A = this chain, B = another copy of it.
Amino acid sequence: MKRLTIALDVMGGDFGPSVTVPASLQALTSNPELNLLLVGDPDKITPLLAKTDPSLLDRIRVIAAESVIANDARVSQAIRTSRGSSMRVALEFVKSGEAQACVSAGNTGALMGLAKLVIKPLEGIERPALVTVLPNQQRGKTVVLDLGANVECDSQMLVQFAVMGSVMAEEVVGTPNPRVALLNIGEEESKGLGNIREAATILKNIPVINYIGYLEGNDLLTGKTDVMVCDGFVGNVTLKTMEGVIRMFLSLLKSSGENGKKSWWMRWFGPALQKIVQKKLAKRFSHLNPDQYNGASLLGLRGIVIKSHGGANQRAFAVAIEQAVQAVQRQVPERIAARLEALLPKSD
């Protein structure tokens, strides 16, 4: 198996090294070919490695970084003062080729800005987009973008997202001739914002894009489309809403003994049956657990950058690392670059 190296901004996210370092060890355990660069404050990282198996330690390098970009920093300010920060240093390892991918749970806007600055967008891409792949009810997968990298989008950006999403669905998910829809507040042509209506007009005239029209929020998980395109504000709110609802369901299903009350399962079925039921239900819904699909790719760059949720727990951050591993193995940027070259109008 080919060895691969991923640079981690271990300081990012709500919990920093206390989550990212154990998650790193988990990822190393399950990927024998993986090497990790842990970029951050060595004083906070090394104590967390104290009891680590030497065979894992061999595959870790701790890289000192002078500073950390705050989660609530303004993007422009964060980028200006980014030199030496854990996020930027991690990205620079991708730029130099020492790492094949970077993972950060830090400030989304700063990651987007720095990734553009350090790694550069692909030819023909104005603005990279955050993308994720959601499981749908048809047992297929739906590519959704943008999830928050671009808060305001004009029609051209939406069209580029549609192209990138389509390539991702075909080349990475493996969906032939993927259907592409714009997320809107109605399926009729007259509905929605001006930029969306303009994007629709453009998409109808790109023959290689299988554009199927507008879909609404309730179709995110129905599998009616393989790619759902929206601006970053709407995508972010939508995805978080979805996750909120799913977490609530999972917690209702799992709830036991909250507020000193007996679990509803307990009361209905008795403790023996309860365990079986909980396990079966957890398995039944596991593919919808946000911890299982943490990690959005920053698509449209000359390298792989994965954004983890800021609030990711150990398991979820490990999933984001795993997603980076897969993106490297599937050569996502190379495939997208090749398809974009064929699709997009030449800039000369």
A189 at the A/B interface (Cβ < 8 Å)? yes
**A227 → chain B, closest Cβ, in Å?**
16
- Complex interface residues of chain A between 234 and 276 (CB less than 8 A to chain B): 234, 236-249, 252, 264, 268, 276
* Closest B residue to A255 using CB positions: B284
A264 to B71, CA, bound (A): 43
- The answer to whether B71 and A188 touch across the interface, beta carbons within 8 angstroms, is yes
Q: Chain A: residues with CB nearer than 8 A to chain B?
A: 71-75, 108, 137, 148, 151-152, 183, 185-186, 188-190, 192-193, 216-222, 230, 232-234, 236-249, 252, 264, 268, 276-277, 280, 284-285
- The answer to whether B268 and A244 touch across the interface, beta carbons within 8 angstroms, is no
Residues of B within 8 A of A247 (CB): 218
Residues of B within 8 A of A189 (CB): 72
* Closest B residue to A250 using CB positions: B249
- The answer to whether B245 and A242 touch across the interface, beta carbons within 8 angstroms, is yes
**A285 → chain B, closest Cβ, in Å?**
7
Can you name 11 extra interface pairs (CB under 8 A) apart from A72-B190, A230-B237? A72-B189, A217-B236, A217-B239, A217-B240, A217-B242, A218-B240, A221-B244, A242-B245, A252-B284, A264-B280, A268-B280
A253 to B137, CA, bound (A): 13
**A257 → chain B, closest Cβ, in Å?**
16
Q: List 20 A-B contacts (CB under 8 A).
A: A72-B186, A72-B189, A72-B190, A74-B190, A151-B193, A185-B232, A217-B236, A217-B239, A220-B245, A221-B248, A233-B234, A234-B237, A237-B238, A238-B238, A241-B242, A245-B249, A246-B249, A249-B249, A252-B284, A264-B284
A234 to B243, CA, bound (A): 16
* Closest B residue to A239 using CB positions: B217
Given contacts A72-B188, A233-B185, A233-B234, is CB(A222)–CB(B244) below 8 Å?
A: yes
Given contacts A190-B72, A246-B245, is CB(A237)–CB(B217) below 8 Å?
A: yes
A243 to B190, CA, bound (A): 23
Residues of B within 8 A of A244 (CB): 217-222
Residues of B within 8 A of A237 (CB): 183, 185, 216-217, 230, 234, 237-238
Residues of B within 8 A of A233 (CB): 185, 192-193, 234
Residues of B within 8 A of A75 (CB): 190
A139 to B288, CA, bound (A): 24
- The answer to whether A241 and B264 touch across the interface, beta carbons within 8 angstroms, is no
**A77 → chain B, closest Cβ, in Å?**
9
A72 to B184, CA, bound (A): 13
Residues of B within 8 A of A236 (CB): 185, 216-217
A189 to B74, CA, bound (A): 9
Given contacts A192-B151, A233-B193, A242-B241, is CB(A137)–CB(B220) below 8 Å?
A: no
- In the A-B complex, the 9 residue pairs with the smallest Cβ-Cβ separation, listed nearest first, are A217-B240, A218-B244, A72-B188, A217-B241, A185-B236, A217-B237, A218-B240, A245-B245, A74-B190
Residues of B within 8 A of A238 (CB): 217, 237-238, 241
